[in-house]
Structure 1
Amino acid sequence: MMRSPISGYSRLTKIQKFTTAGIAAAGVAALTFAAIPDSSDTGTSAQSIAVKPVAWSGEAFGTQEQQEHLGKQAETAAKQAKAEAEAKKKADADAAAAKAKADKERADKEAASRSAERKPVQAAPAPKTYANNLDGWIKEALDIMKAKGIPGSYNGIYRNIMRESTGNPNAINNWDSNAAKGIPSKGLLQVIDPTFKAYHVEGTSWNIYDPVANITAACNYAAKVYGSMDNVNSAY
């Protein structure tokens, strides 16, 4: 059976293809082959024909100088990006460290403040108490005298009290020369009013019969005249 003639080629072999990157890298010419179809009318047989190699130049991708320039630009951009990334990383780390430090300082201050607020308030010491008798009066008078810098001892005071009034805070002498002048001696250590007023110790009562006020005023006078009540052994 005779075939119908077809214009052009009836069959073509596949053109061997190379990728552009392969062609550029290899730098060789691509070869393709085409087959001439059989023709039963003419009786000719298929014949392979070689296609002329195609040469590729580097101009399609720029000159070598341009390629090197682009490469340097890419390298510079990469370095810059890396430097910026490292700078950002350091800045973030510094900011985090600063925040952590500030948070710690604030927490420490708050803890210290809470600790101070919870610190128990120490109650003021209770005032010292003294017995309401001769022993208590002498001891209270000695504490006041110590604070005021007035010399004297328990034994010296007690000895003179027992001689002058036998321990009676309301004792009064109405028969001696002072009494004759209208200024009788009064109290535990038999002090006259002018002397009591002149040597009164601040912080004590102004009542001459008050035991502590009488003792401190008499000891203050004795310190000025005799050096101390301890040095008094008779009427003074």
Structure 2
Amino acid sequence: MPAKGKHRRPKHHKITRKLALAGTGGAALTLPLISATTAGAVETATAPAARTLVAATPAADDATYSVKAGDTLSGIASKHSVSGGWKTLYAANKSLIGNNPSIIRPGIKLKLGAQPEAVRASRSAARTALKPAAAPTYANNLDGWIRESLAVMAKHGIPGTYNGIHRNVMRESSGNPLAINNWDINAQNGIPSKGLLQVIDPTFQAYHVPGTSLNSYDPVANITAACNYAAARYGSIDNVNGAY
């Protein structure tokens, strides 16, 4: 952007279609994100082929064994292939057996598949690790807008760094997403520069990145489109150090 009071040459490279914004003078800006909805395909249901039902085998942790006279922990563990042998079997059933693992009362039901608490905890941790990570959330401020833009840019292969974006934003708009230039040659031509990186409507339209808002005042959409344009013209927003 040029110094205040100086006229700039038309920025034919800047972009965005005009979007009517009523009452932007100081009012808070509501910035909804646009998401695409895909109509679901209609499928024809096919009756499943006849099949024979087989009784399900109990899960390992639910398997039990009724102790008979003469049974020993080592014998039960060996017969039922208990992982870890009689020590694992004892650890899982200590509350039923008591403090003497060599004596087990006939009739009690031992848990065959249950594992000691430490093993169960490690299994739980492994299952938790397999859960998909929650979508990141971003603060509704300049830091959050830049970070969200960088995430979108990464998906689309658009170069740029946090520092490069921040430096240009502060020069162009001082971080005000509602900033608009109503005095330069672009404004006189009816396409004023708008938003954090002062993008004109034609440029915003040409370099708009899918998945971001169609509102040129939207902080993330504005940053991402400007960075997309800067990448095409200068190689990266990091290479922009003045009016572009």
**Length-normalised TM-score, structure 2:** 0.48
**Higher relative contact order by CA 8 Å / sep ≥ 6: 1 or 2?**
2
Higher-Rg member (1/2): 1
Structure that is richer in helix per residue: 1
